[in-house]
């Protein structure tokens, strides 16, 4: 019994046992003990249960109750009550325990202690408390639903703390899954709600660029940051590795935020004052608006390891921009405050102009800060005080200049350096007056102060001369007056008039001393005496006498002995010359007498009458003028014209033929000029020679102008129309004006036209009416005006001045593209629409716009032109900002060669540049309005075809014998100019010293400038020290000239230095040309001054000490240009010398490599011959490729000629079809294939760049033809040409980019302005790749075609090269350019193949690597061969076709256009 539990009592009949033991105990003691023991066991069992009941679980209590209840029937009566009481106690305890359990469950559920509820449920399950277990599960379920509801409510209320506090339940997912199946659905709903919340927030952050409200972004970032904290906490507990599935989105969001702030930074840099203060202020307002979020964003980086910390730390806050703004303003302010005119860097007109333009620019920049002053730190910056300080600083400096200049002018003995300083001061004030307007300060007052002092000094010298008693005293005063005149170009005319007044007065009062003064002037050591004689009409007779003296030293015998030419008949030349001289002598006697008796006007009238009678005799005999029939009239007619010229000069200079003291010398053509005229008119040829097209070489400075003038006069009189074509507009105008009196007297002005090649070609093209106006009338009114024809049209002759210029890129092979400007209010409305909606989808709804339809209604029948123009506009408006332009004088201008031109139109990119700059406030509304038009292309005329329209072509040149085989072949075979004559110099053999083995130096870049300066130092020394010479140094372009001046030690010498570029004013140019031949003067000049400029040397010291020395510091492409530059020294029989200093890097253009140069230097002899040989090879390749371009140009010309015929015939249909085809706009399909052609444009890549320009049209034609044959729209592709150089180039030259286009004209025009220059070992390919990446940010590219001859810069290269100009490049748009492999990363990621073609094997490894990394192809391109143009055409065409249309199109291309090379 002791060993069994209570339920075991059922085994024993306890009542019977106790009853029997009770009975037995009465008799037996042992039974009594047993009875008590049994009772004790029963009692102890109940007591034991009672004692332990509190430690029992309810299921156990229930079991015990059940057990006790089951034995009640077996218990003795005395135990029933105890047992029942025990049951009651247990039941009571059970109920209390159950209540307590439910209470704890309720409390845990109420407190949302989910983890504890789960534990309790597990415990209840383990204990078997089924009802409590079920109750607890229900309560858990209720708690989860409550949490879910609270999360949703908190989300609605944006109470993120509650959301993510409740969301901790997600951490218990595993526990919940084990106790409550329904929890998975609830948790999923909670998880999805939070995921939706965070993704919505991330989406907002991803689109930060398009958000206006920073509060929305801050709220979204708060959601993000709390989510991330929760996410990280979960991940630490080994929960989901990508909770909410947002890892990738997080990285994109981070990139978007960084890009957003970088874009704001870039926009600030783009528009920061003075560029566009209105937009800058808008940007700064936005930066300020987003500054709070940036602070939150940057602070969060400190505890978030996923963020790009370096990039985030680099993002500038609003305060940083304000500081930058303040500093920029103070930089401008300090620049002006530190301006002092005596600084050496501004002692020359070009640099002075640049410096004052900088002052103007800085002043304008300071004023521009008005637009952003709310962003300036007012505690540091007071804009009004700064402006006031600037005005006072400039005013003080200007008045100091006036005072210093006045003190110098007052000096009795004004030295050369004094004049230089006064001139600097004067030029400074002049430039300030012209370029700078400051309210409250009048620069013209200070300028007038100096001018008054100059005039006073000149009048003082005049008075002194008038009072002078001896010739020496008078001459010194005259020299002083001339010295002042020569040093003030803008005052020269007025100052010279004071000297003229003195000379006229002197003529009347002091005739006896005139000869002595003349002698003093001629021998004055300054050379100013000869300058006075040359420039003042008082001494015209003297100049004529001097000229005659020089030109008659070598007469007809010398000329006939040394003349060379085709089919020479010396006897005929001599006989005709003698006939001319005889007739001239007769005329002189007759007309001197007539002039003396009846006056010069009568003599002129009489001789003109004689000439007209003689010319009419010929024209009567020959109604169809022909050169072969006129030569018998020539000697007599030339003699009359020559004497007419004499009479006209007598009249011009008011000379008195009766005055015995007159210095008149009757200037008539010298022997060389007469023979030249004879040869061009068919005299002096052997029998059976058919005279006609003819060229004559007359050396520079020996009278080409008068030769052409007399020749033109003869031909015009005999029935021809003459076009005199010259390369220089300045020289053309000069000659036209000089000989106008002759043409007027002979009544032949209407038959003779002077102009540049381009001007005369345009006249010829528009001879039957202005093609532009004809086209505009056709479009506006639907009619073609009747073409007017001249009655009795005369045969035309083209006279060429300097025939070698005929072959320059601006003429031969060039195309004239007349553009008609169609203007109308409806067009303005249409362009306004395109500009307004340029960045919105509405731009592409133009077909349905009122503006477009109204424009079409205005020009019925020509809607196609409007449609094509709009396509073109849309293409340009999306990319126009990438084309380089300059705003100047309220115009959009472009740098072309060394000039800045405003008459260039770069498609519609120019139009939208006007719109943009108008918005910025840099272009006026009037200027914008003037430049709104639709450009209608009216044709494509080849200049090379124009000469064929002339009956005869004649010309004179100084370099006929220097023409290359290519030029000679064109002259002889294309233009049928078979007859040539080489005239000897009228001054005899040249006195120029040039040794081809000793006077040529090839240097590396480290020694190049030193060698130039060394040669200047050596050559400026005269034969007799301390006498000095003058040195002219010719540079290839202005940029190189300025760079040499700024980076050499030249300005530290005591030489008088002049910088002469095309940008000089006419007045400054004339003044500096005169000063260039003065002793101790060094003139740095651009190549344009090497032709047609007469550097007359009047200085005895220079003339007798070796003359002027010329240094050419570049190798000309053509020998003719080199000859012209040489010809600036040793002119007209004077002494002179020439040398050449070349930079080895520049010679790469001619494929002259470093090893070639070393070989030349080793041989020591034949350097010039080697250079010339390489140059000839270069030209052979260039000319072969150019020939193809000329042929291509002819096809355009022929098509346009048909159009002109249709216009004449009033063929409406044909004319419309032509205009439609010519004005076809690009496709604006956004899905087109785009390719970038990325080319090296350094010095060695000349052939590549020339071929890229020449081949672009044929390339497009071929690709379009192939695509059409394969059934693909030919407008499915666009190209962009990009050229790269290196860090030695400027920001605008290191990378040049064309617009995207499928119009070859645009690419051709772009390439026409790209010149090979620079180079520095490995090249900056990384800059080109950087551009590709920039395009890829907003666009797609199908491929890149890379062409170059050098590998990309290494990391060390970039550091070294940029390091030399570190501040410059850090301020440039290329400041973020990285090593090429880093730039390639994005291109690789975007899957853009780079097809890399190397021109030299040195680049092979790098180019193959680039191609392999981008899955492109690589190969060798033999661009430097005669077939280079064809190879380039085939390469680019096939690569484009391969990408657009596949191998089938490539094979078709090869079939249609088989290569001519192997």
Task: Name the H helices within 468-539.
Answer: 471-487, 492-509, 514-523, 528-535
Helix axes 416-435, 471-487, angle to 10 degrees: 30
Alpha helices, DSSP H only, in 921-1002? 925-930, 965-969
Minimum mean pLDDT among 595-604, 828-837, 843-852, 899-908: which range? Answer: 899-908
Q: How many other β-carbons are positioned within 10 Å of the β-carbon of residue 1161? A: 11
d(CA 65, CA 94): 10
End-to-end CA distance of the chain: 121
Question: What single-letter DSSP state applies at residue 1352?
Answer: B
Mean pLDDT computed over 443-458: 82
According to the 3-state scheme, what is the secondary structure of 1397-1451?
Answer: EECCHHHHHHHHHHHHHCCCCEEECCCCCCCHHHHHHHHHHHHHHHHHHCHHHHH
Cα–Cα distance, 431 to 274 (Å, whole number): 21
- Pairwise pLDDT comparison (506 vs 801), residue with the higher score: 801
Per-residue pLDDT at 484 exceeds 50: yes
| Cβ neighbours around 136 below 10 Å, total | 28
Report pTM: 0.70
Model confidence pLDDT, tens digit, residues 395-443: 888 888 888 888 888 887 777 778 777 877 777 777 777 666 666 556 6
When mean pLDDT is compared over 376-380, 1131-1135, 1291-1295, the highest value belongs to 1291-1295
pLDDT at 640 over 80: yes
Mean residue pLDDT of the chain comes to: 83
Residue 228 has pLDDT above 80, yes or no: no
Average pLDDT over residues 1351-1358: 94
How many whole angstroms separate alpha carbon 272 and alpha carbon 332? 13
Whole-number Å distance between alpha carbons of 916 and 880: 10
**Residues pairing with 1352 in the sheet:** 1323
Give residue 1008's pLDDT.
94
β-partners of residue 1139 are 1111
Please give the Cα distance from 732 to 740 (Å, whole number).
Answer: 12
Residue position matching structure tokens 């390339």: 1259
pLDDT at 898: 45
pLDDT at residue 691 in the model: 72
Q: CA 627, CA 238: separation in Å to the nearest integer? A: 105
pLDDT at 513: 67
- Cα dihedral sign, 61-63-67-69: positive
Averaged pLDDT for residues 597-621 = 85
**Is pLDDT larger for residue 654 or for residue 901?**
901
Cα 59 to the center of its chain, rounded Å: 93
Q: What's the pLDDT score for residue 1274?
A: 80
Instruction: Quote the pLDDT of residue 514.
Output: 67
Tally Cβ neighbours within 10 Å of residue 882. 17
**Secondary structure letter of residue 1028 according to DSSP:** B
The angle subtended at Cα 231 by Cα 227 and Cα 236, nearest 5°, is 150
Segment among 203-217, 709-723, 1107-1121, 1224-1238 with least mean pLDDT: 1224-1238
Q: Please name the residues in contact with 494: beta carbons below 8 A apart, sequence gap of 6 or more.
A: 455
CA distances from 407 to 402, 448, 461, 937, 1084 (A): 9, 15, 17, 61, 30
Per-residue pLDDT for 307 more than 60?
no
The dihedrals phi and psi of 800, each to the nearest 5 degrees, come to: -110, 130
Q: Considering only CA atoms, which of 284, 351, 353, 344 is closest in space to residue 319?
A: 284
Q: How far apart are CA 204 and CA 760, in angstroms?
A: 65
Is the pLDDT confidence value at 797 over 70?
yes
Tokens of 73: 């029937």
Mean pLDDT for the stretch of residues 678-705: 86
The pLDDT assigned to 172 comes to: 61
Q: Within a 13 Å sphere around the CA of 653, how many CA atoms are in the beta-carbon half?
A: 23
Helices (H), strands (E): how many in the chain? Answer: 58, 27
Question: With bands split at pLDDT 50, 70 and 90, how would you rate the model's confidence at 865?
Answer: very high
Q: Which of 1324, 1320, 1301 is closest to 1311 using CA atoms?
A: 1301
Phi-psi region of 105 (alpha: psi -120 to 50; beta: other; left: phi over 0): alpha
**Rounded mean pLDDT, 1409-1432:** 87
Give residue-wise pLDDT tens across range 1381-1418. 999 998 999 999 999 999 989 899 999 999 999 999 99
pLDDT of 66 above 80: no
pLDDT of res. 655: 63
CA atoms within 13 A on the CB side of 1434: 20
CA distance 1347 to 1236: 11
On the question of pLDDT at 569 being above 90, the answer is yes
DSSP string, 1109-1160: EEEE-S--SSHHHHHHHHTTSSGGG-EEEEEEEEEGGGGGGGT--HHHHHHH
Please provide residue 1282's backbone torsions phi and psi, each rounded to the nearest 5 degrees.
-130, 140
How would DSSP label each residue in 687-730? Answer: TT----SEEEE--TTS-HHHHHHHHHHHHHHTT-EEEEEES-HH
């Amino acid at each position: 019994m002791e060993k069994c539990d209570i339920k075991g009592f059922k085994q024993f009949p306890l009542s019977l046992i106790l009853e029997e033991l009770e009975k037995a105990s009465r008799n037996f003691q042992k039974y009594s003990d047993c009875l008590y023991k049994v009772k004790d066991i029963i009692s102890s069992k109940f007591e034991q249960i009672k004692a332990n009941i509190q430690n029992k679980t309810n299921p156990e209590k229930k079991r015990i109750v059940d057990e006790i209840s089951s034995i009640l029937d077996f218990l003795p009566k005395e135990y029933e009550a105890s047992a029942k009481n025990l049951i009651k106690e247990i039941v009571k305890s059970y109920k209390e325990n159950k209540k307590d359990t439910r209470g704890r469950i309720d409390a845990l559920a109420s407190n949302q202690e989910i983890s504890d509820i789960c534990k309790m449920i597990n415990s209840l399950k383990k204990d078997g408390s089924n009802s409590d277990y079920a109750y607890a599960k229900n309560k858990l379920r209720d708690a989860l639903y409550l949490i879910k509801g609270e999360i949703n409510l908190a989300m609605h209320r944006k109470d993120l703390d509650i959301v993510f506090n409740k969301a901790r339940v997600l951490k218990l997912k595993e526990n919940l899954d084990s106790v409550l199946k329904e929890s998975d659905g609830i948790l999923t709903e909670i998880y999805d709600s939070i995921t939706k919340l965070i993704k919505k927030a991330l989406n907002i952050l991803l689109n930060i660029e398009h958000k206006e409200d920073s509060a929305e972004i801050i709220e979204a970032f708060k959601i993000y940051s709390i989510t991330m904290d929760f996410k990280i906490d979960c991940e630490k507990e080994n929960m989901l590795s990508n909770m909410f599935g947002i890892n990738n989105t997080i990285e994109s969001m981070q990139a978007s935020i960084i890009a957003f702030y970088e874009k704001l930074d870039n926009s600030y840099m783009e528009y920061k004052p003075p560029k566009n203060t209105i937009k800058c202020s808008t940007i700064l307002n936005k930066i300020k608006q987003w500054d709070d979020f940036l602070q939150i964003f940057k602070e969060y980086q400190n505890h978030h390891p996923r963020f790009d910390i370096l990039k985030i730390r680099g993002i500038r806050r609003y305060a940083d921009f304000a500081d930058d703004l303040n500093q920029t303003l103070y930089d401008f302010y300090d620049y002006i405050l530190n301006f002092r005119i005596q600084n050496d860097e501004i002692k020359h007109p070009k640099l002075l102009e640049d410096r004052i333009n900088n002052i103007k620019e800085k002043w304008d920049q300071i004023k521009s800060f008005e637009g952003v002053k709310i962003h300036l730190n007012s505690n540091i910056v007071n804009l009004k005080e700064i402006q006031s300080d600037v005005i006072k600083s400039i005013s003080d400096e200007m008045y100091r200049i006036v005072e210093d200049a006045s003190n110098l002018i007052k000096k009795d003995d004004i030295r050369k350096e004094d004049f230089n300083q006064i001139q600097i001061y004067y030029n400074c004030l002049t430039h300030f007056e012209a370029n700078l307007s400051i309210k409250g300060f009048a620069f013209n007052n200070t300028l007038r102060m100096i001018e008054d002092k100059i005039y006073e000094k000149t009048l003082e010298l005049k008075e002194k001369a008038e009072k002078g008693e001896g010739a020496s005293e008078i001459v010194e005063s005259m020299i002083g007056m001339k010295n002042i005149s020569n040093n003030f170009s803008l005052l020269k005319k007025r100052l010279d008039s004071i000297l003229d007044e003195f000379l006229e007065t002197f003529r009347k009062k002091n005739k006896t001393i005139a000869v002595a003064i003349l002698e003093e002037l001629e021998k004055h050591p300054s050379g100013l005496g000869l300058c006075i004689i040359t420039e003042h009409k008082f001494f015209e007779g003297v100049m004529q006498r001097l000229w005659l003296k020089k030109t008659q030293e070598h007469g007809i015998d010398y000329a006939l002995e040394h003349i060379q030419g085709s089919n020479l008949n010396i006897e005929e030349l001599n006989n005709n010359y003698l006939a001319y001289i005889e007739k001239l002598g007769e005329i002189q006697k007759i007309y001197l007498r007539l002039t003396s008796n009846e006056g010069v006007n009568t003599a002129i009238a009489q001789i003109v009458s004689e000439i007209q009678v003689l010319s009419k005799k010929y024209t009567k005999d020959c109604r169809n003028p022909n050169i072969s029939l006129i030569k018998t009239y020539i000697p007599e007619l030339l003699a009359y014209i020559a004497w007419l010229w004499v009479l006209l000069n007598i009249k011009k200079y008011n000379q008195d033929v009766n005055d015995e003291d007159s210095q008149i010398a009757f200037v008539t053509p010298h022997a060389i000029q007469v023979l030249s005229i004879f040869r061009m008119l068919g005299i002096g040829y052997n029998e059976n020679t058919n005279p006609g097209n003819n060229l004559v070489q007359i050396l520079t400075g020996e009278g080409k102008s008068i030769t052409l003038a007399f020749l033109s006069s003869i031909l015009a009189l005999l029935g021809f129309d003459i076009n005199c074509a010259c390369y220089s507009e300045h020289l053309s105008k000069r000659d036209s004006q000089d000989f106008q009196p002759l043409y007027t007297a002979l009544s032949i002005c209407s038959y003779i036209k002077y102009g540049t090649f381009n001007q005369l070609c345009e006249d010829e093209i528009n001879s039957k009416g202005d093609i532009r106006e004809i086209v505009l009338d056709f479009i506006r009114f639907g009619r073609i005006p009747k073409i007017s024809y001249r009655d009795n049209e005369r045969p035309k002759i083209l006279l060429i001045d300097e025939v070698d210029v005929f072959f320059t890129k601006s003429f031969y092979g060039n195309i004239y593209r007349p553009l008609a400007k169609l203007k109308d209010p409806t067009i303005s409305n249409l362009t306004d629409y395109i500009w307004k909606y340029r960045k919105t989808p509405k731009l592409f709804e133009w077909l349905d716009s009122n503006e477009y339809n109204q424009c079409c209604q205005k020009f019925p029948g020509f809607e196609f032109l409007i449609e094509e123009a709009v396509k073109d506009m849309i293409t340009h408006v999306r990319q126009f900002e990438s084309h380089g332009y300059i705003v100047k004088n309220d115009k959009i201008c472009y740098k072309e060669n060394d000039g800045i031109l405003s008459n260039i139109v770069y498609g519609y990119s120019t139009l939208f540049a006007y719109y943009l700059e108008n918005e910025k406030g840099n272009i006026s509304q009037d200027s914008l309005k003037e430049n709104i038009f639709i450009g209608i292309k009216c044709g494509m005329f080849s200049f090379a075809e124009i000469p064929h329209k002339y009956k005869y072509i004649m010309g004179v040149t100084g370099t006929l014998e220097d023409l290359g085989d290519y030029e000679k072949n064109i002259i002889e075979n294309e233009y049928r100019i078979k007859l040539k004559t080489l005239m000897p110099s009228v001054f005899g053999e040249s006195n120029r010293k040039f040794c081809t083995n000793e006077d040529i130096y090839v240097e590396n870049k480290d020694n190049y400038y030193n060698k130039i300066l060394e040669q200047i130092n050596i050559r400026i020394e005269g034969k007799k020290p301390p006498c000095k010479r003058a040195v002219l140094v010719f540079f290839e372009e202005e940029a190189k000239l300025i760079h040499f001046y700024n980076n050499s030690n030249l300005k530290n010498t005591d030489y008088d230095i002049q910088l002469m570029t095309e940008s000089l004013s006419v007045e400054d140019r004339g003044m500096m040309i005169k000063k260039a031949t003065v002793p101790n003067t060094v003139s740095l000049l651009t190549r344009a001054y090497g032709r047609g400029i007469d550097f007359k040397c009047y200085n005895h010291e220079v003339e007798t000490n070796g003359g002027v020395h010329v240094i050419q510091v570049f190798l000309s492409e053509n020998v003719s240009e080199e000859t012209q530059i040489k010809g600036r020294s040793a002119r007209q029989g004077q002494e002179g010398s020439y040398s050449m200093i070349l930079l080895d890097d520049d010679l790469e253009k001619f494929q002259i490599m470093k090893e070639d140069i070393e070989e030349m230097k080793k041989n020591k002899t034949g350097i010039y011959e080697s250079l010339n040989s390489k140059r000839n090879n270069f030209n052979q390749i260039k000319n072969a490729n150019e020939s193809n371009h000329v042929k291509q140009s002819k096809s355009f010309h022929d098509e346009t000629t048909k159009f002109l015929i249709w216009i004449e015939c009033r063929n409406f249909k044909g004319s419309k079809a032509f205009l439609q085809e010519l004005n076809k706009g690009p496709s604006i399909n956004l899905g087109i294939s785009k390719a970038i052609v990325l080319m090296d444009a350094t010095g060695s890549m000349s052939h590549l760049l020339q071929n890229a320009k020449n081949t672009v049209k044929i390339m497009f034609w071929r690709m379009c033809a192939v695509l059409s044959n394969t059934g693909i729209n030919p407008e499915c592709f666009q190209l962009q040409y990009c050229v790269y150089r290196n860090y030695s180039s400027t920001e605008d030259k290191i990378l040049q980019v064309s617009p995207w286009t499928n119009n070859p004209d645009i690419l051709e025009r772009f390439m026409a302005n790209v010149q090979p220059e620079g180079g520095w070992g490995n090249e900056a390919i990384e800059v080109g790749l950087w551009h590709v990446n920039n395009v890829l940010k907003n666009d797609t590219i199908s491929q890149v075609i890379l062409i170059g001859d050098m590998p990309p810069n290494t990391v060390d290269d970039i550091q070294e090269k940029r390091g030399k100009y570190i501040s410059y490049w850090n301020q440039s748009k290329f400041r973020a350019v990285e090593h090429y492999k880093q730039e390639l990363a994005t291109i690789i990621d975007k899957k853009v193949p780079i097809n890399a073609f190397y021109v030299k094997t040195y680049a092979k490894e790098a180019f193959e690597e680039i191609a392999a990394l981008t899955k492109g192809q690589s190969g060798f391109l033999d661009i430097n061969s005669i077939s280079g143009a064809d190879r380039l055409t085939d390469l680019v065409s096939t690569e484009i076709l391969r990408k657009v249309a596949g191998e089938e199109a490539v094979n078709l291309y090869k079939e249609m256009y088989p290569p001519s090379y192997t």
